[in-house]
Chains A and B, each alone.
Chain A
Amino acid sequence: MSRLDDALREALRREDPPSGFAARAMARIEAAPQRTSVWAGLQGLFGWRRWRWAAALAGVVLAVGAGEYGIEMQRRAEGERARDQVMLALRITGGKLRLAQAMVQRVEYAPRER
């Protein structure tokens, strides 16, 4: 331990702040606008450790939600494909029916010979 160490300890001893410091600090804190961000609000609400659990839970919920959404989208795409096929089949059937009807009418109203 050198004399410099001792002298520095002496020179850098803790000092008391001017009297009334705590009261002035509290007045400043009370006068400060209670501006809390959404993030700070959530942190205050959950605390650091609980917030980690909340974030993990939110991650799981998001992952499950994303999976469900993907399945639903796939189901919808399959439904749309099936509907398109039905519509195509109906269009083909309708065309055949119209053709058959036209042929029947031609036979019925054709002028009889002799």
Chain B
Amino acid sequence: MATAASVAMPDRADFEGIVREHQSMVFSIAYHFLRDRPAAEELAQDVFLQLHKSLGTLESAEHLTRWLRRVATNRCIDYCRRSKLMPRIGLEQVAEPSSPCRPADPMLSRTLAQLVASLPANWRALVVLKYQEEMETEEIARTLGMPVGTVKSQLSRALEFLREKASRVLGESQ
């Protein structure tokens, strides 16, 4: 359990506890960004390595969570830029199911996840934080150091883009 005390002065077991508590959050941010499990694992481990060096500067468990989300997201964006993988998955590679699907359909989920991974990195960051981490716009803005208005407008454009591409799958009229 990540308490303020364990953040301040962790021994090996405490730190491993922090890794276990947050591993799915950090790994999932990376995986939903990259759609590549080995790359996502490596990136997530890099985040925890950086956390180990920076832990003394974090003041609370909430600060730790916010820090992990910010660092994981920024590393994903940097990774995409460095690898010139923007977008990593081209839209033309995203297969659309032949018939409309129910929202919990695994095929629909896979298609949507691929569509998200085809977004520009900045939009992808916003969509992942909003829907994976269920963060509010203001919280996303604070985490990424962006103006709230920018987050709102970019998120709205990203969702419009996704809606348009997914409309046939979801059977929604535009």
Contact = CB atoms under 8 A, between A and B. Distances in A.
B23 A7 contact: no
Contact of B27 (A7, A10, A15): A15
A11 B108 contact: yes
Contacts of B23: 16-17, 21-22, 25
B172 A11 contact: no
B170 interface: yes
Interface in B137-173: 159, 162-163, 166, 170, 172
B19 A11 contact: no
Nearest to A20: B41
A88 B155 CA distance: 84
Interface stretch (B64-72, B73-81, B86-94, B125-133): B125-133
Contacts of A44: 56
Contacts of B172: 2-4
Nearest to A23: B16
Contact of A7 (B57, B59, B128, B170): B170
Contact of B103 (A3, A17, A32): A3
Interface residues of A, number: 32
A10 B32 CA distance: 12
Contact of A14 (B40, B116, B132): B132
Contact of A24 (B45, B104, B131, B166): B45
A7 B112 contact: yes
Interface of B: 8, 12, 15-16, 19-20, 23-25, 27-28, 31-32, 37, 40-41, 44-45, 48-49, 52-53, 56-57, 59, 103-104, 108-110, 112-113, 116, 127-128, 131-132, 134, 159, 162-163, 166, 170, 172
23 contacts: A2-B172, A6-B103, A7-B166, A8-B112, A8-B127, A9-B131, A12-B32, A12-B112, A13-B28, A17-B24, A17-B41, A21-B45, A22-B19, A25-B19, A25-B44, A29-B15, A29-B48, A29-B49, A29-B52, A40-B53, A47-B8, A47-B57, A49-B59
4 smallest CB-CB distances across A and B, nearest first, come from: A17-B27, A11-B112, A11-B109, A12-B132
Given A21-B23, A25-B44, 11 more contacts: A10-B108, A11-B110, A11-B113, A12-B112, A13-B28, A15-B27, A21-B41, A21-B44, A25-B49, A29-B52, A47-B8
